């Protein structure tokens, strides 16, 4: 890391960017403000950037993809990327993490909380580099993120050709942010390193892994041993003992892990998003087992209601949902849903913002009907502006997806909604 700590703030509104930079400048020697993709690329080429704070909602609505592009830049491989947005954290945080972000700050923010979060990220960056180091005697079996992705893609191609199987998984220690805040950054770093060492000791012959963020490890194994759950539970028990040594107590369940069979037809990012969705569901339900295969908690509800003024789009969405085992119903009016009677079989509702009655208005009216209060709603839109996304979430939507659609992403997101 450069001796000079350079902060890059990426935000369409220059005045807001300057305010953010001035609030954080005590931690850095210099700051730069970018209000466009072109300015961002110029600063990254010219300077060593130690941290990025970004509101990713540029006018083209490519927020998540822009994060992914930044993360894949070799100059930014270990640079912490913090999202700052007015969107509700519980709706979008996991989604941004799956594209490579390291943290989320909801705007407007408390300055002291902003400073504290930046300090933790800068501190853990040093330890993260140690975990990812492949040379020397630090951690064999662990790879930098770009190397891990390359290995995984090659193995996924082998699986497709040989029709063999493998396992992809996520491990997320529980309460890591609280440990680092209340007990100390060093102890948090120590626990992550201890977990990585335990994984190397127990699984390195069968496993490749990467520290995806400072509090999440991603791994895959081509060993189709059916005792994966038992092995992971053994790892968890040993990690709990390390936790007791480090902080004086065991914070149950220690960590949560979710795994799935590698699907060579899906990208790593898409499979990661599905795993992250399941992990988020497990966090919301502490009674669930801390180690699971994807789908262990999947609901039996299969009906999907679709409101889209484009009949071709409706048919394509319905066709792809049918392939995943769902039963789609194409509707056109609010009256159609309010008279829908099979509530117990309803898994989700998909609404395009361009329907005549107004997509976001329909979300509000659906939520006013108590019988639909717990049914997740996905909004489809051609716009992707932060104001519209925020309005959709405030109205009660659980997810928001830009058009034109990737059917692979759509079905993965529907699965994430229904598995919650």
pTM of the predicted protein model: 0.64
pLDDT of 316 over the 90 cut? yes
Q: How far is CA 399 from its chain centroid?
A: 13
Fold of 303-419: Rossmann fold (3.40.50)
Residue with the larger pLDDT of the pair 298 and 249? 249
Q: Specify the pLDDT at position 42.
A: 92
User: At CA 92, angle to CA 400 and CA 113, rounded to 5?
Assistant: 150
CATH 2.40.50.140 fits 136-293, yes or no: no
CATH 3.40.50.300 fits 6-126, yes or no: no
Q: Specify the pLDDT at position 298.
A: 46
What is the phi/psi pair of residue 263, to 5°? -105, 100
pLDDT of 413 over the 50 cut? yes
The token pair that represents 271 in the structure block: 């499979």
pLDDT of 204 over the 60 cut? yes
CATH topology agreement for domains 136-293 and 303-419: no
Q: Specify the pLDDT at position 2.
A: 43
Q: Please state, in angstroms and as integers, the Cα–Cα distance from residue 245 to each residue in 93, 194, 240, 248, 275, following that order.
A: 31, 11, 9, 6, 30
Average pLDDT of every residue of the chain: 82
Q: Are 268 and 152 in contact (CB under 8 A)?
A: yes
Half-sphere exposure of 153 (CA within 13 A, CB side): 10
pLDDT one-digit tens code per residue, 90-122: 788 777 877 778 888 999 999 998 998 888 777
- pLDDT above 70 covers a percentage of the chain that reads 88
When pLDDT is averaged across residues 11-20 and rounded to a whole number, the result is: 92
Q: Specify the pLDDT at position 280.
A: 73
Residue with the larger pLDDT of the pair 181 and 297? 181
Q: What confidence tier does 300 reach under pLDDT thresholds 50, 70, 90? A: low
Half-sphere exposure of 183 (CA within 13 A, CB side): 20
pLDDT of 258 over the 50 cut? yes
Q: What confidence tier does 202 reach under pLDDT thresholds 50, 70, 90? A: confident
Of 155, 362, 335, residue with least CA distance to 261: 155
Give the start-to-end residue ranges of the domains of the chain: 6-126, 136-293, 303-419
pLDDT one-digit tens code per residue, 168-194: 999 999 887 777 777 776 677 778 888
When pLDDT is averaged across residues 250-267 and rounded to a whole number, the result is: 89
- pLDDT above 90 covers a percentage of the chain that reads 28
Question: What's the CA gap between 274 and 358, in Å, rounded?
Answer: 29
pLDDT of 347 over the 60 cut? yes
Q: Specify the pLDDT at position 53.
A: 95
Q: Specify the pLDDT at position 62.
A: 58
């Amino acid at each position: 890391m450069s001796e000079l700590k350079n902060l890059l703030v990426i935000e369409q509104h220059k005045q807001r960017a300057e305010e953010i930079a001035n609030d954080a400048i005590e931690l850095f020697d210099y700051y730069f403000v970018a209000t466009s993709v072109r300015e961002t690329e110029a600063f990254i080429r010219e300077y060593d950037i130690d941290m990025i704070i970004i509101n990713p909602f540029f006018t083209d609505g490519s927020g998540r993809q822009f994060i992914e592009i930044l993360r894949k830049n070799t100059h930014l491989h270990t640079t912490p990327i913090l999202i700052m947005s007015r969107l509700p954290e519980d709706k979008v945080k996991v989604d941004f993490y799956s594209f490579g972000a390291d943290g989320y700050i909801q705007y407007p923010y408390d300055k002291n909380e902003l400073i504290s979060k930046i300090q933790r990220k800068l501190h853990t960056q040093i330890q993260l580099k140690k975990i990812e180091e492949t040379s020397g005697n630090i951690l064999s079996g662990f790879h930098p993120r770009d190397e891990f992705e390359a290995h995984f893609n090659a193995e996924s191609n082998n699986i497709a050709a040989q029709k063999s199987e493998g396992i992809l998984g996520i491990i997320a220690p529980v309460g890591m942010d609280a440990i680092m805040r209340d007990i100390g950054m060093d102890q948090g770093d120590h626990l992550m390193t201890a977990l990585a060492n335990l994984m190397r000791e127990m699984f390195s012959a069968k496993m490749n892994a990467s520290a995806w963020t400072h509090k999440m490890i991603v791994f895959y194994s081509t060993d189709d041993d059916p005792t994966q759950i038992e092995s992971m539970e053994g790892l968890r028990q040993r990690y709990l003992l390390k936790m007791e040594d480090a902080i004086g107590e065991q914070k149950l369940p220690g960590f949560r892990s979710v795994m799935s069979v590698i699907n060579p037809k899906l990208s790593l990012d898409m499979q990661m998003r599905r795993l992250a969705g399941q992990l988020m569901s497990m966090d919301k339900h502490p009674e669930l087992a801390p180690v699971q295969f994807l789908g262990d908690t999947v609901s039996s509800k299969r009906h999907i209601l679709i409101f889209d003024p484009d009949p071709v789009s409706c048919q394509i969405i319905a066709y792809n949902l049918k392939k995943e085992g769902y039963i789609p119903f194409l509707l056109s009016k609010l009256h159609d849903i309010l008279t829908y009677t099979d509530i117990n079989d309803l898994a989700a509702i998909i609404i395009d913002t361009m329907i005549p009655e107004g997509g976001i208005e329909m979300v509000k009216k659906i939520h006013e009907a108590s019988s639909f209060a717990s049914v997740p709603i996905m909004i489809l839109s051609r716009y992707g502006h932060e104001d519209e996304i925020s309005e959709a979430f405030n109205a009660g939507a659980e997810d928001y997806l830009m058009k034109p659609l990737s059917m692979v992403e759509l079905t993965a997101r529907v699965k994430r909604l229904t598995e919650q």
